[in-house]
Amino acid sequence: MITLMDNCAAQSELLTDNSELRRQVELIVTTMPVIDVHTHVFPPAFDGMFLQGIDELLTYHYLIAETFRSTDLSHEKFWLMTKTERADLVWRTLFVENTPLSEAACGIVCVLDVFGLDPRSPDLAEARAFFSTQERHEHLDRVLQIAGVSDVVMTNDPFHEREVLLWNGAGHNNPRFHASLRLDALLNEWPEAMQTLTRQGLRIDAALDDSTVAELRRFLDGWITRMQPLYMAVSLPAEFKFPDSDVRDRLIREVVLPTAREHSLSLALMIGVHRGVNPALRSAGDGMGRADVRALERMCEENPDLKFLATFLSRENQHELCVSARKFNNLMPFGCWWFLNNPSIVSEITRERLELLGPSFIPQHSDARVLEQLIYKWRHARSIIGSSLYESYERLLQNGRAVTRQEIARDVERMFSGNFRSWVGLPPESSLRNRERGS
């Protein structure tokens, strides 16, 4: 029988053997609960936005873009199809007529395999039968448990009609789902946002006079009260400059940053997206470009009392982001975003972050849109983060300093949840759950 003392001794034992070190790193990284700091996943209460099952998985915009690499079908004809027909086409094209080699396609294979479904099936009958018979809440809990995700941060848009209805109604009461207040519509589509807000009865002046600024501040205050977001967020084009002379700059300075200050909320900046590079692809048509990291540095420098989470879409910006984070401790790099979420690039970015920042960053977020994507995205991420971390500990060992299991667990916990919790002020898991139970 293993006693408590044996267990404590094992935790603090120095790991001087490479294969045992690797085994322990893998074990800790695969079992440590993670907070998924940026997703587009919602709980079942968000009617029509809780996406799950094989048809949603296969019509993910990453896979739609890839399907057009291997079919002659026109975009127009594709968009005329029903969701079921689109899913059938994606399956046939990427999984039957071709080998599913890409990261997003391999992810589907992983999900099917986890649920004991045949990834070589000629059609989707078996998978559809399985997913359509899962009870939503039980399935949600099962997926979160398989993925090892303790908490999910949603992307919540106060300009999204369906969401607005939900928040203005019963809201949701799933304690594992947290909101983030997304500001894209306000900061990137100001003319349309102005019209929407005016329709809602706000007094908005295009010249952004003082009373408009006050009205916009009240608008955000109201949403913060309703959603209780963990942070505010915006995605920005590669050309984003700060300071700048456009309306976005004024909105950031006069509305967003003062709101962040007043509510002690971090601002997440996701920089480098080119929206609608190919509009015919709709949601699959966005591209990317290299951004100027100096804009982020200036924002951190001008606002030392505010905290920023940041991620860049271009591989070329990753090293610069690490260096910026060494200069500004109000800057937290997070995730390998979207087109970067491929094993070769995640590995490179994670290693360069470990080398430049130690454990003081958030290695990954899933960006999942469909529930079951959490399974493959986290399985793949854990495997690469584990290898990168093992390399770091092995180098440490070669240099004369072994680590213990306890130290590995401390580092992994910090990167998988601790850094985020302390950045956004989310209480530790146990106290949060107790609070929700009313104790």
Footprint of ligand RAT (CB under 6 A): 40, 155, 235, 338, 367, 369
Q: Is 166 left (phi over 0), alpha (psi -120 to 50) or beta?
A: alpha
338, interface contact from ligand RAT, Zn ion, none, CB < 5-8 Å by kind: ligand RAT
What is the nearest approach in angstroms of Zn ion to the Cβ of residue 56?
16
Nearer to Zn ion, 367 or 411 (CB): 367
- Shortest distance in whole angstroms from residue 172 CB to Zn ion: 19
Measured from the CB of residue 100, what is the shortest distance to ligand RAT in angstroms?
Answer: 19
Give CA–CA dist 312/318, Å, rounded: 7
Q: Which is nearer to ligand RAT, 68 or 130 (CB)?
A: 68
Half-sphere exposure of 392 (CA within 13 A, CB side): 23
Rounded distance between C-alpha atoms, residue 190 and residue 205, angstroms? 11
CB of 121 to ligand RAT, least distance (A): 26
The torsion defined by the Cα of 136, 137, 143 and 144, in degrees rounded to 10, comes to: 150
* From Zn ion, ligand RAT, none, interface partner of 379 (C-beta below 5 to 8 A by class): none
Give the span between the Cα atoms of 147 and 336, in whole angstroms: 18
Residues that bind Zn ion (CB under 5 A): 367
- Shortest spacing between CB 178 and ligand RAT, in angstroms: 16
Closest distance between ligand RAT and the C-beta of residue 369, in Å? Answer: 6
Contact criterion met (CB below 8 Å) for 127 and 114: no
Minimum CB separation of residue 71 from Zn ion in Å reads 26
Least Å distance, CB 207 to ligand RAT, is 29
160 binds, options Zn ion, ligand RAT, none, Cβ within 5 to 8 A by partner type: none
| Residue placing its CB nearer to Zn ion in the complex, 103 or 367 | 367
Minimum separation from the CB atom of position 159 to ligand RAT (A): 14
Using the minimum distance from each CB to ligand RAT, give the nearer residue, 334 or 416.
334
Residue 235 binding: pick among ligand RAT, Zn ion, none (C-beta 5-8 Å cut-off by kind): ligand RAT
- Of 79, 82, 20, which is closest to residue 55 (Cα–Cα)? 82
Decide which of Zn ion, ligand RAT, none touches 263; Cβ closer than 5 to 8 Å per partner kind: none
Q: Which is nearer to Zn ion, 56 or 367 (CB)?
A: 367
CA distance 213 to 203: 10
Q: Residue 130: which of Zn ion, ligand RAT, none does it interact with, CB under 5 to 8 A by kind?
A: none
SS (HEC) of the chain:
CCCHHHHHHHHHCEECCHHHHHHHHHHHHHHCCEEECCCCCCCCCCCCCCCCCHHHHHCCHHHHHHHCCCCCCCHHHHHHCCHHHHHHHHHHHHHHCCCCCCHHHHHHHHHHHHCCCCCCCCCCHHHHHHHHCCCHHHHHHHHHHHHCEEEEECCECCCCHHHHHHHHCCCCCCCCEECCEECHHHHHCHHHHHHHHHHCCCCCCCCCCHHHHHHHHHHHHHHHHHHCCCEEEEEECCCCCCCCCCHHHHHHHHHHHHHHHHHCCEEEEEECEECCCCHHHHHHCCEECCCCHHHHHHHHHHCCCCCEEEEECCHHHHHHHHHHHHHCCCEEEECCCHHHCCHHHHHHHHHHHHHHHCCCCECCCCCCCCCCHHHHHHHHHHHHHHHHHHHHHHHHHHCCCCEEHHHHHHHHHHHHHHHHHHHHCCCCHHHHHHHHCCC
Q: How far is the CB of 65 from ligand RAT (least distance, A)?
A: 11
The binder of 150, among Zn ion, ligand RAT, none, by C-beta within 5 to 8 A per type, is: none
Pick what 52 binds: Zn ion, ligand RAT, none; C-beta below 5 to 8 Å, kind-dependent. Answer: none
**At its nearest, how many Å lie between ligand RAT and the CB of residue 155?**
6
Judged by CB, which is closer to ligand RAT: 21, or 340? 340
Residue 93 vs 341, nearer CB to ligand RAT: 341
